[in-house]
Amino acid sequence: MEQTRRNFLMSGAAITGSVVMLPYAVNAAGHAANEFKVPGGTMSVHPVAHASVVLKTPKGVIYVDPVGNPVSYAGLDKPDFILITHHHGDHLDAATLFAIAGENTTMMVNPEVMNKLPDELKSKATVLKNGDTGEWNGIGIEAIPAYNISEDRLKFHPKGRDNGYVLNMDGFRVYLSGDTEDIPEMRALKDIDLAFVCMNLPFTMDVEAAASAVAEFKPTYVYPYHYRGRDGGTQDPAEFAKLIGDAVEVKMGDWYA
């Protein structure tokens, strides 16, 4: 299985746990993208900022946690599908959603996000809670728990509320952690080809915990993302790569241009 997964692949070319809005106004189209061979073609990964990422796949264009100035998405195709992990302001911004969504855009969200969406956006959304599965345009979607386990962080992301996601594109599996600590459900993941793993304090986990978890579930590729915390404190993605070593290939995104 591991060799089969690796043969599919070809590499190419949290600020806050509260509802504080982000100031990013970068142009995502100018960000370097990596490409990965997937069944049916290639998938390109376009980092936008912090936890926001765009995946251009053979099945359609997927936006994950899009927030901030809509100029950040200039030059990128409109989303066919939007995934939102939870309701904090660095993951959910209704004004951004109104600006970027097309007439036929659909969304999957956790229950708390659905409760906070305006009615016009609720009509586009389907709810997945922890453990649920869904499907969009032939892509299987699993809602993976995302939560804190450290006593002093439980208030940020309580167990049972927020989602991570696994996307299954005909056997190519992508994990998006959302905001979480080093939890058993992440370590138990299997056959992940590409992962996006958060690391920021005090809201999620530090670089050592993130690296330890990734070394256990062993995705083929991993992006460190969501790595700036309170008052500009940063978990160092280069240190993350050093801790991972040769076990997993680390990809870097220009999240904080």
User: Does residue 247 surpass a pLDDT of 70?
Assistant: yes
Check: pTM over 0.85? Answer yes or no.
yes
The percent of residues above 90 in pLDDT, for the chain, comes to: 82
Beta pairing partners, 54: 46, 63
- Each domain of the chain, given as residue ranges in start order, spans 2-250
Q: What is the mean pLDDT of the chain?
A: 88
Instruction: Output the CA torsion sign for 202, 208, 212, 218.
Output: positive
User: What is the end-to-end Cα distance of the chain in Å, rounded?
Assistant: 37
Phi, psi of 218 (to 5 degrees): 50, 65
Mean pLDDT for 234-239 is 93
Residue 20: predicted pLDDT: 33
The domain 2-250 having CATH identifier 3.60.15.10: the answer here is yes
What would the pLDDT profile of 98-132 be if each residue is shown by its tens digit? 999 999 999 999 999 999 999 999 999 999 999 99
CA atoms within 13 A on the CB side of 83: 33
What would the pLDDT profile of 10-36 be if each residue is shown by its tens digit? 333 332 333 333 333 344 444 568 999
Residue 181: predicted pLDDT: 97
Mean pLDDT for 135-141 is 98
Residue 2: predicted pLDDT: 41
Mean pLDDT for 64-91 is 95
Mean pLDDT for 4-9 is 37
Mean pLDDT for 121-147 is 97
Mean pLDDT for 162-175 is 97
Residue 212: predicted pLDDT: 97
Per DSSP, helices labelled H in 68-172 are: 94-100, 111-116, 119-122
Measured N-to-C along each axis, helices 237-244 and 207-217 cross at an angle, to the nearest 10 degrees, of 40
Residue 50: predicted pLDDT: 94
Tokens of 123: 């009509």
Instruction: Output the CA torsion sign for 95, 257, 37, 211.
Output: negative
Collapsed DSSP state (helix, strand, coil) of residue 112: helix
Distance of CA 100 to CAs 11, 56, 171, Å? 28, 15, 29
